[in-house]
A and B are shown apart, each in its own frame.
Chain A
């Protein structure tokens, strides 16, 4: 059961048993400290800081909503939002569709399935590493591997994909699609939970494979799809490493790979505009929360629950 389903159905704790408050307190102590010191405290602090001007050296000065106003007048920030939204809304759907198709193909009916699954899963473990970003930088460079291979089949005068503002973001989107293995494994686990009797029943009613796919598999898989959407959406909004390495930390060429997280990093930890960076972090939080909320609210129209 996924995190999300758990949230949907957080059970009322059976109040029948006796309370074990004291033992629970000790078992939860590290987590409670973490919640206070590492999560909740800093969250509140960053909300407060977002209304200040703070550079670590002088005491924070209260400037009201100025940081928030400034954000909407900051062309680089608006651009970074555009870049990030483009990245999220192009790469996540493609990645998930590829993952879904791969899972359906690799579910059954073939030899060597574990081998294919492993191979397709591997990139999702390596995808967030600096090494792979370095590889991407070379592969999609002016005289990189990709252009060399295209040259062999007769394409010449190709752009340097990562140095061309029109294409740079595309290479990072491709990198994210390449890591479709993780959602694929989640889909595979979901497919395995669909009872075979549904397919048998559908077959008796004369449904062919295609109809079974649309009428049985996909509806029953929709909760998993929903979960994957949420997970990938949240992850993609926070993407940082790949854009950082591919662009050498600049978000270039001409800010075309300036992801929101990268700009936040530059503001907070290169220029030490801690107040502004906090405001940016809260805007990111609000965006992610709002999109998750919308996904949740619309889910009743397209997610099918079997219970």
Chain B
């Protein structure tokens, strides 16, 4: 089955030959029809939510179509201020946590990855194995004592319980990703820098870090999306509405809308998805490469 392009070429050059080739071309088209059907199936609910976020409430439960017919922007303006705090506050809260987590991961994971990829030290195998095993550790196992610890030092309802673990390199996935990446950088570059008199801090900063920007981009984009969506840790640590992240605010929105102001709820849901969607569009290359090279989720 070389490629369908070749079949099409054959169809064009020898049209008299081609019952079989025509059939193959038709099968190619059929394949696209099937694929497009799946595309519609997968995306229909999402598109419908976006369209419905501009519809009046009663329409949402009667109109299954995805052709925009109403443009009730008040869902957005009213939804924005429907909770005790304007939605902008939750976006800022989420942004602060996400940026802190990204910086934390970039800081701790690059340092640790450099040590694992380039340095020889005692207990390296043990440490590396432990690092890999922590990737698989369910975070519930450490949650209760962490919560108690953060409550002792009066850091509940701050961003620290969410950011500090990142600054201390507990997202081992990214360490692993970076180790893989650094191993691909020729060691001759380190050697050249060493001959020029650079110690490890300089080799790290001047040689390795500039060369590992793709891995840094992958880490940034994944941390961004995962932290933006994070729900369990924030719901445990953030209990005061003015500290809520976007996800918590949406959760509260449902509770406060038992009668169901679905237009507004959908509008704010769409707002909460826009950053991820933009991240996906901009960072797709790094996302896919990151998954492909390490098999991270």
Report how far A287 CA is from B216 CA in the complex, Å: 34
**A23-B200, A125-B276, A134-B254 known; A33 vs B168 contact (CB < 8 Å):** yes
Q: Chain A residue with minimal CB distance to B49?
A: A135
* Docked CA distance A172–B149 (Å): 33
Report the interface size class on chain A: 35 or more
Q: Is the CB of B232 within 8 A of A31?
A: no
Q: How far is the CA of A282 from the CA of B250 in the complex (A)?
A: 31
**Stretch from B15-23, B73-81, B95-103, B107-115 that touches the partner:** B107-115
Verify A285–B138 contact, CB threshold 8 A.
yes
Contact partner of B121 (CB less than 8 A), chosen from A19, A136, A241, is A19
B154: interface (CB < 8 Å): no
Q: Which of B142-156 contact A (CB under 8 A)?
A: 142-149, 151
Interface flag for A51 (CB, 8 Å): no
B291 is an interface residue with CB less than 8 A from chain A: yes
- Counting chain B residues whose Cβ lies within 8 A of the other chain, the interface size class is 35 or more
Which residue, A13, A234, A238, has most C-beta atoms of chain B within 10 A?
A13
Decide: B231 and A244 in contact? CB cutoff 8 A. yes
CB pair B169–A110 under 8 Å, yes or no, is no
- A23 to B38 Cα, complex, angstroms: 53
Q: Do residues A281 and B140 form an inter-chain contact, with CB atoms below 8 A?
A: yes
Docked-complex contact B273 and A38, CB < 8 angstroms: no
Q: Say if the beta carbon of A18 comes within 8 Å of chain B.
A: yes
Most buried by B among A23, A46, A110, A186: A23
Say whether B9 faces chain A, with CB atoms less than 8 Å apart.
no
Please tell me if the beta carbons of A281 and B141 are within 8 angstroms of each other in the complex: yes
- Whether A248 pairs with B128 at a CB distance below 8 angstroms is no
Cβ-defined contact, A131 with B269, below 8 A: yes
Could you tell me if B225 and A27 are in contact, using CB atoms closer than 8 angstroms?
A: no
User: When the two chains form their complex, are residues B229 and A2 in contact, meaning their CB atoms are under 8 A apart?
Assistant: no
Q: Is A145 an interface residue (CB 8 A)?
A: yes
Residue pair B144, A281 in contact (C-beta under 8 Å): yes
Which residues on B sit within 8 Å (CB–CB) of A25? 121
Note all chain B residues with C-beta closer than 8 A to A269: 147, 235-236
B37-61 to A contact mask, C-beta < 8 Å, 1/0: 0110011011011000000000011
Whether B84 is near chain A, meaning CB under 8 Å from some CB there, is no
A281 to B277 alpha-carbon distance, docked (Å): 34
A39 lies within 8 A of B45 (CB): no
Does B35 make an interface contact (CB < 8 A)?
A: yes
A87 lies within 8 A of chain B by Cβ = no
Contact present for B125 and A13 (CB under 8 Å): yes
Q: How far is the CB of A99 from chain B (nearest CB, A)?
A: 12
Q: Is the CB of A129 within 8 A of B276?
A: yes
CB distance from A189 to the nearest CB of B (A): 3
B231 with A116: CB separation less than 8 A: no
- Contacts A31-B131, A131-B270; A15 near B120 (Cβ below 8 A): yes
The answer to whether A2 touches B1, judged by C-beta atoms less than 8 angstroms apart, is: no
Cross-chain contact B232 with A284 (CB below 8 angstroms): no
List, in ascending order, chain A residues with CB within 8 A of B138's CB.
234, 237-238, 281, 284-285, 288
Known A33-B168, A119-B43, A284-B140; judge A144-B61 contact (CB<8 A).
yes
Q: List 17 A-B contacts (CB under 8 A).
A: A23-B199, A27-B111, A31-B175, A39-B134, A56-B151, A125-B225, A126-B46, A128-B229, A129-B276, A130-B247, A138-B266, A148-B62, A148-B63, A189-B295, A265-B236, A281-B141, A284-B141
Extra contacts, 20 of them, besides A10-B128, A244-B231 (Cβ < 8 A), are: A19-B122, A24-B121, A28-B112, A30-B167, A34-B170, A38-B165, A42-B146, A105-B31, A110-B35, A123-B46, A129-B228, A130-B272, A136-B45, A192-B292, A241-B229, A245-B251, A268-B144, A274-B144, A281-B138, A284-B138
Q: Which 7 A-B pairs have the closest CB atoms?
A: A34-B168, A189-B292, A131-B269, A24-B121, A45-B145, A42-B145, A31-B169
